[in-house]
Amino acid sequence: MRKTFGTFPELFFMGVGLFWIAESYFTVGSINYFAILVTWLLFVQFFYKNRLAGLIYGIAFGSFSVYMLLSLIADNGEAVSPLYVTNINAVDSVLFAVGIIMSVAMVYKYVTTKVDYDESVLTVTY
């Protein structure tokens, strides 16, 4: 059960990446290669579970989520309509708050991982 909950941060950020890919394709009409790269790297991380990459991804996604949440809080008073502020910013705030929680869980998971192998060697066993 704990192993199942341990994969939620990667799955959450992959879902956000897939949404980012679909949103940019359907609104702009072009392919967002950066979103594809981020989602692919998370997909690879999901299977290989490299400790250093997991820490880097967790810290990067956490700092981005904190930045965006603080940006939403700062822009709250500048919107024209109070109805717009409560609807859109509430959904975005919840998304970024969950992103912070998932990134903390991801960092905690990879910090507490016991290392029994050489991380400089990429091996695949079948």
pLDDT digits (tens, 9 = 90+) for 2-12: 666 778 999 99
pLDDT digits (tens, 9 = 90+) for 76-115: 655 555 555 555 677 888 899 999 999 999 999 989 887 6
pLDDT digits (tens, 9 = 90+) for 39-48: 999 999 998 8
DSSP track, 27-77: HHSS--HHHHHHHHHHHHHHHH--HHHHHHHHHHHHHHHHHHHHHHHHHGG
State the chain's mean pLDDT as an integer. Answer: 83
pLDDT (0 to 100) of residue 84: 53
Is the pLDDT reported for residue 52 higher than 80? yes
Q: Where are the domains of the chain?
A: 2-111
pLDDT (0 to 100) of residue 49: 86
